[in-house]
Amino acid sequence: MRAALLQLTSSDQPEENLEAVLALVDQAVAGGADLVLTPEVTNCVSASRKHQHEVLKSENDDIVLAGLRNAARTKRISIVVGSLAVKTDDPDGRFANRCFVIGSDGTIRARYDKIHMFDVQISDSETYRESDGFRPGGHAVTVDVAGATLGLSICYDIRFAALYRALAKAGAQVLTVPAAFSPVTGAAHWHSLLRARAIETGCYVLAPAQTGAHPHSLGRERSTYGHSLAVSPWGDIIADAGTVTGVTFVDLDLSEVEQARRRVPALDHDRPFVVS
């Protein structure tokens, strides 16, 4: 199976982002991809709640989701839309940070709402309060698509190893980690966290990322770390997109999942213990 990781610098305008992502989907198809993966918040990166409420829609009216479903169907590819910010029926008006898996017939095969919210003060000048604007999910999801079983996650989830262990035990062979990582924590932790999850589970890890300085008509400036990454089930980095936008191809051989788990069957070696 050939996967293509799309690295984007999404703006706060969904129309622009749709155009940009469809251009990269075309490149991915031309390069022979069966499975295309896009980063977290492909449809809109914005720090302004007011602006988000103006431009974002429920999933039924989201133009990026509609455009990517159409692309999947007409080009016969599967797509993991890393996430879209979509309106929900939350009484506080909060959005969902939702991953969509689209089959090669254009149907939505799975949805996953990001579970862990990035409520973090990285420094005096850099604070994130994701749960102010987004309603967290509570369901982990695996899905069979393009000949593989995927285990879904989003960005900050990567710091919660138990999620990935549960996904692998539920049958996942490929863990997807679409992201919009902060430059500071990315430089410190990104590669290590992704490699650790691959090593612990014997899964491929595919992590398409937002990169660079995101243009804003409103709100404060926002930059992301980039470095879309693919990691083998043995823990080797097999692709790193650096910081430019574009498409990164990676060929997956699912027998490597079995092989890694045969060599180190740690996934089957959990033991009960108490902490005192």
Ligand X SMILES: O=C(O)CNC(=O)[C@H](CS)NC(=O)CCC(=O)C(=O)O
Binding site for ligand X (CB under 6 A): 40-41, 45, 97, 118, 128, 130, 155-156, 159, 180-182, 185
Segment holding 134, helix H or strand E: none
Judge whether 221 counts as a catalytic residue. no
CB of 152 to ligand X, least distance (A): 15
Q: Which is nearer to ligand X, 104 or 185 (CB)?
A: 185
Question: How does DSSP classify residue 116?
Answer: S
Give me the catalytic one of 87, 99, 114, 203: 114
Residues 6+ apart with CB under 8 A from 46: 12, 52, 55, 216, 218, 219
Judge whether 40 counts as a catalytic residue. yes
CB of 46 to ligand X, least distance (A): 7
Phi, psi of 61 (to 5 degrees): -115, 10
Q: Which is nearer to ligand X, 4 or 155 (CB)?
A: 155
CB of 13 to ligand X, least distance (A): 13
Using DSSP's 3-state secondary structure scheme, residue 176 falls into strand
Measured at CB, which residue is nearest to ligand X?
A: 185
Tokens matching residue 19: 């155009």
Phi, psi of 120 (to 5 degrees): -140, 140
Q: Which is nearer to ligand X, 197 or 261 (CB)?
A: 197
Judge whether 203 counts as a catalytic residue. no
Q: Which is nearer to ligand X, 27 or 88 (CB)?
A: 88
Give me the catalytic one of 40, 44, 99, 256: 40
Could you tell me which residues are beta bridge partners of residue 152? 176
Report the b/e string of 79-110 with b at 16+ CB within 10 A.
bbbbbbbbbbeeeeebbbbbbbbbbbebeebb
Query: Annotated active-site positions, please?
Result: 40, 114, 155
